Chain A
């Protein structure tokens, strides 16, 4: 007799893979970026389905398929979650301490840099402004797109 398709294993595995690769999407929104709960939700649902599928495969092997590939998928899913956690909780936190960065109350170091049109812009220019001095200047250092 042909055994039945064990869908929870497949759906669970797809959700686990989606949990890993969807961070690029979720990272656009602060609420799902600062803590990746949406990704862990996907991992959680995927893991529950994988476990349910494995129970079917091992509990009623004459009815459901998936003892071998279900185990392989589950092992891969565990590795995906481990890799994701490593990146989120370790790699992303490898930021220098920047103890020597200007503190509140200090004068910001001067600079003169080229803008996107090749025009030199200094801190003094920014503080003077094109139409009178601005109230404040926000300097945003970013990693860049290279």
Chain B
């Protein structure tokens, strides 16, 4: 998330909205946004309803066996169509901002 904040101006310039989604409640998200200087929205899915809908649930991986999201990144076009998906096989290895920007280049040049 930090790396996305560092390069947020590039995402802004390219017209890409960056949004984070996790099970954290809004007050935790607010605290973290303030502490880490995040200026993009962090959305709260405490019951993991949306996380389940996207099938990116990691059952029992949270504190006290709570269900949380696994790291996953989706790039949608302006019609809400998925144009790029990154489902890591390693919890510690998440998408880098440059991968997302590269994916944007790919589908932008494909006649969008």
Q: Which residues of A come within 8 Å of B, CB atoms? A: 27-28, 30, 33-34, 92-111, 113-118, 121, 123, 126-127, 129, 133-146
A104 — nearest CB in chain B belongs to which residue? B82
User: How many inter-chain contacts with C-beta < 8 Å in the A-B complex?
Assistant: 215
Query: Of the candidates B17, B24, B58, which one forms a contact with A145 in the assembled complex, judged by CB atoms under 8 Å apart?
Result: B24
List residues of chain A with CB within 8 A of the CB of B20.
140-142
Produce 1/0 per residue, B24-51, CB < 8 A to A: 1010111011000000011111000111
Interface residues on B, range: 35 or more
What CA separation (Å) do A28 and B3 show in the bound complex? 9
Are A139 and B69 CB-contacts (below 8 A) given A95-B88, A98-B87, A118-B26?
no
**In the complex, are the beta carbons of B55 and A108 less than 8 A apart?**
no
CB pair B93–A126 under 8 Å, yes or no, is no
B19, A101: Cβ atoms closer than 8 Å:
no
Complex: A85 Cα to B28 Cα, angstroms: 32
Whole-angstrom CA separation of A93 from B71 in the bound complex: 12
Is B80 an interface position by the 8 A CB rule? yes
Q: Which of B18, B50, B61 contacts A109 (CB 8 A)?
A: B50
For B65, the chain A residues whose CB sits under 8 A away are none
B61: nearest residue on chain A (CB-CB)? A143
Chain A residues with CB below 8 A from B28, complex form: 144-146
B15, B41, B58, B96: which contacts A121 (Cβ < 8 A)? B41
